[in-house]
């Protein structure tokens, strides 16, 4: 059966790939990104993930067009380097964008969902750590704890899993690799970045019947970058 899928927040390139994967599988997909644009066949919903009123309005549009959300995919921001990460001026905005906003979005959507699947996009940095990105790693470590907690609390109604991404073929990753080069690629056993199609396929798998008994898991899509963590 076609499901109501809401892909919200985060990097548009990654969100587009995930939305495309669900559309190709026959689902009804709505997308809410911080910036414009969506794959063909998706319902575009204006959304500011930092604004509870905007989330409520977006959900009303999704439900009016596709029915109650059954699959929620929550995106997050891509990493930034900052010269000083521990003062509030640098730390707080990154934690807000990557943790607080995601938590608020999940809280709002879960209140409307009867049951379903929640996939939270995170980063291998949340479990492996990330030099020069302690703010980003702290936020994504928080997402792991949050997602595992709601998996326990809401297990009779939902599965909730983390998709922990390594380097994905986006402009941000390309810029990182251009800057740090072989240092990053050399740490990835598979010696390449993930394709956007691989991200979309794994997100869809976590929302599929094949993953019906998987919850509270952290699934790495990182080419082995986080092995051992």
CA angle 164, 104, 170 (to 5 degrees): 35
Choose, from 136, 184, 213, 229, the residue flagged as catalytic.
136
Query: Does the annotation count 229 as an active-site position?
Result: no
Residues 6+ apart with CB under 8 A from 223: 166, 167, 188, 189, 190, 191, 192, 193, 194
The SS3 assignment for 217 reads: coil
The two tokens of residue 179 are: 């800057």
Is the Cβ–Cβ distance between 125 and 167 less than 8 Å? Answer: no
Q: Where are the beta strands (DSSP E) in the chain?
A: 4-8, 28-32, 43-44, 71-74, 116-123, 158-165, 218-221
Which positions are annotated as active-site residues? 136
């Amino acid at each position: 059966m076609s499901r109501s899928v809401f892909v919200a927040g985060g990097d548009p390139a990654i969100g587009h790939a995930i939305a495309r994967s669900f559309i190709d599988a026959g689902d009804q997909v709505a997308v809410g990104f911080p910036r414009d644009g969506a794959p063909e066949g998706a319902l575009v919903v204006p959304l500011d993930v930092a604004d509870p009123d905007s989330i409520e309005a977006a959900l009303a549009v999704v439900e009016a067009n596709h029915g109650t959300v059954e699959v929620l995919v929550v995106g997050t921001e891509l990493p930034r380097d900052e010269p000083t990460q521990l003062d509030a001026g640098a730390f707080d905005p990154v934690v807000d964008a990557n943790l607080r906003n995601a938590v608020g979005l999940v809280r709002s959507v879960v209140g409307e969902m009867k049951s379903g699947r929640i996939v939270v996009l995170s980063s291998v940095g949340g479990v492996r750590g990330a030099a020069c990105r302690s703010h980003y790693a702290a936020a994504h470590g928080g997402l792991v704890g949050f997602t595992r907690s709601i998996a326990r609390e809401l297990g009779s109604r939902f599965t909730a899993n983390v998709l922990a991404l390594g380097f994905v073929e986006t402009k941000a990753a390309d810029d990182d690799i251009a800057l740090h080069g072989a240092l990053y690629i050399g740490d990835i056993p598979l010696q390449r970045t993930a394709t956007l199609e691989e991200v979309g396929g794994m997100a869809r798998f976590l929302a599929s019947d094949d993953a019906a008994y998987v919850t509270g898991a952290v699934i790495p899509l990182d080419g082995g970058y986080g092995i051992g963590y």
